[in-house]
Amino acid sequence: LGQHGDGSLPESASGYQADFNDVARGPDDLAAILYTSGTTGRSKGAMLSHENLASNAHVLVEYWRFTSDDVLIHALPIFHTHGLFVATNVILMAGASMLFEAKFDPARIIALLPRATALMGVPTFYVRLLQQEGLDAQAAKNIRLFISGSAPLLAETHAAWRERTGHAILERYGMTETNMNTSNPYDGERRAGTVGFPLPGVSLRIADPDGSGSLAQGKVGIIEVKGPNVFAGYWRMPEKTTAEFRPDGFFITGDLGLIDRDGYVHIVGRGKDLIISGGYNIYPKEIEGEIDALAGVSESAVIGVAHPDFGEGVTAVVVRKPGSAIGAADVLDAIAGRLARYKHPKQVIFVDELPRNTMGKVQKNVLRETYKDLYAAVRAG
Ligand code: MCA
Ligand code: AMP
């Protein structure tokens, strides 16, 4: 379906009647299958039921106080949970309106602010909007809520936003498999660097990675969640589904976190080898597989390095085969037609060998430390 109502969908639909009979659906019926990538590089279809979607939208409408008076600026892609369900279902369920943008254009968002009451975005939105001269309290005077999610919002972005607009961005945490799990409060302190409290109906615990149960308050462990928001399993992957749930029904998110003394959830890292760039999830394995397959390459490790615009920048560390003269441009050219653009490394670095631990495993933490300032000079935007 094209932007102007063109495309193969309206062509196919033209042969059908406009009227049809509704089919009754129950809460456990499948509503959507959303594909999400995995640590092995193979994508999995997350099966979401009507209850998963409806319960979460209902909770968010109440928690974030959406009403039919609201107007949301929607500039997110609609092929992910954030733009597809969080933004759209909340607006539909509240009977509110949206300004539906084909893409994120910071100057255009500033121009739309006076007509809107809310904005939902990934941290890169807020970083780029802060570079716009027109962003100030006057421009944002009709907005009641700025929401951020999909990737960590830096405390400095939160502070800079507050300074410029007078608004505390509300950060929340979710996943394709679970919809939204936690949110900072509507009233009360929106604590920078945290994702707030478990939403009503969601049980969240910090568990020992070995599955031996909940950890004491303040300890870092794997975030596990349970509730009507949590998906029904991966499409045609029963073993994968079983492996990601505990016997008592909690879903293992793979995110590392802690709960502070006041009950706020902090995400402190990831137990899974995942890079989040501009809100898009990228599994290194898929990129390493493409690079390792090149004739002049012995092996590679793909890591996320702090990036001022995208949060994390995809970075490839590559070991050449003896005698090979393969360069960064060769690597990038070779993967160009094979991987989506946002997965392409922003830099390719060549080394003689990769750091390994005594078990022979590549130490990505050492690489991340070595290259932590790689993008420090890159200006955001
Ligand atoms: C574009 N590029 C990127 C990204 N986006 N590279 C890395 N990471 C990215 N996210 C590439 C472009 O192909 C381009 O390459 C160059 O970077 C600069 O493009 P630019 O014009 O600046 O990008 P853009 O088109 O403005 O896109 C940036 C964006 C976009 C608006 C931040 O990435 C975006 O809409 N992100 C939101 C993703 C999202 O909705 N995530 C939610 C997932 P070249 O110049 O070489 O062509 S759902 C989720 O995570 C859970 C459930 C949750 O909690 O929400
Ligand atoms: P996805 O698989 O695209 O649904 O992305 C889900 C992942 O995004 C989570 O498992 C987290 O790692 C990450 N995520 C979502 N929201 C936040 C947030 N507010 N802070 C940090 N990470 C987040």
Centre of ligand 2 from the C-alpha of residue 146, in Å:
18
pLDDT tens digit sequence for 109-147 = 999 999 999 999 999 999 999 999 999 999 999 999 999
- CA dihedral (208, 209, 210, 211) in degrees, to 10, reads 60
Provide the token pair at 59.
């909770």
- Quote the crossing angle between the two packed helices 284-292 and 328-336, to the nearest 10°: 110
The pairs formed by 282-286 with CB atoms below 8 angstroms and a separation of 24 or more are: 282/37, 282/314, 282/342, 282/343, 283/37, 283/38, 283/39, 283/40, 283/41, 285/39, 285/40, 285/41, 286/37, 286/41, 286/339, 286/343
- Measured from the CB, is residue 270 less than 6 Å from ligand 2? yes
Put the strands of the sheet holding 71-74 in their side by side order: 97-100, 71-74, 118-121, 145-148, 170-175, 179-183, 197-198
Ligand 1 atom closest to 175 (CA): 52
Domains and CATH numbers, the chain: 23-269 (3.40.50.12780), 274-380 (3.30.300.30)
Ligand 2 atom closest to 36 (CA): 2
Tell me the pLDDT band of 358, cut-offs 50, 70 and 90: confident
Judge whether 282 and 293 are in contact, CB under 8 Å: no
Centre of ligand 1 from the C-alpha of residue 304, in Å:
15
Tell me the pLDDT band of 90, cut-offs 50, 70 and 90: very high
Tell me the pLDDT band of 379, cut-offs 50, 70 and 90: low
Centre of ligand 2 from the C-alpha of residue 100, in Å:
23
What single letter denotes the amino acid at residue 220?
Answer: V
- Measured from the CB, is residue 211 less than 6 Å from ligand 1? no
- Measured from the CB, is residue 233 less than 6 Å from ligand 1? no
**φ, ψ for residue 135 (rounded to 5)?**
-85, 115
pLDDT score, position 359: 83
pLDDT tens digit sequence for 210-244 = 877 899 999 999 999 999 999 999 999 999 999 99
Q: Is the pLDDT of residue 381 over 50?
A: no
**Bridge partners of 221?**
257
- CA dihedral (246, 249, 255, 261) in degrees, to 10, reads -110
- Measured from the CB, is residue 121 less than 6 Å from ligand 1? no
Mean pLDDT for all residues in the chain: 95
Q: Is the pLDDT of residue 5 over 90?
A: no
Judge whether 368 and 304 are in contact, CB under 8 Å: yes
Centre of ligand 2 from the C-alpha of residue 201, in Å:
19
Ligand 2 atom closest to 149 (CA): 19
Determine whether 100 is exposed, middle or buried from the number of CB atoms within 10 Å of its CB (0-12, 13-18, 19+): middle
pLDDT tens digit sequence for 174-193 = 999 999 999 999 999 999 99
- Measured from the CB, is residue 158 less than 6 Å from ligand 1? no
- Measured from the CB, is residue 83 less than 6 Å from ligand 1? yes
pLDDT score, position 210: 80
Report the pLDDT averaged over residues 343-371. 94
CA atoms within 13 A on the CB side of 83: 18
Mutating to test ligand 1, I would choose from 126, 342, 343, 346 the residue with most ligand atoms within 8 A of its C-beta, which is 342
Judge whether 75 and 121 are in contact, CB under 8 Å: yes
What whole-number distance in Å separates Cα of residue 182 and Cα of residue 265? 8
Kindly tell me the sign of the dihedral angle through the C-alpha atoms of 220, 225, 231, 235.
positive
Mutating to test ligand 1, I would choose from 280, 312, 335 the residue with most ligand atoms within 8 A of its C-beta, which is 280
Q: Is the pLDDT of residue 302 over 80?
A: yes
In 194-335, the DSSP E strands lie at: 197-198, 203-207, 221-226, 233-234, 251-259, 265-270, 275-277, 280-282, 297-307, 311-320
- Measured from the CB, is residue 150 less than 6 Å from ligand 1? yes
Instruction: Say what the pTM is.
Output: 0.93
Report the pLDDT averaged over residues 347-354. 97
* Residue 352, SS3 per DSSP: coil
Residue nearest to atom 7 of ligand 1 (CA): 342
pLDDT tens digit sequence for 28-76 = 999 999 998 876 667 899 999 999 999 999 999 999 999 999 999 999 9
Tell me the pLDDT band of 164, cut-offs 50, 70 and 90: very high
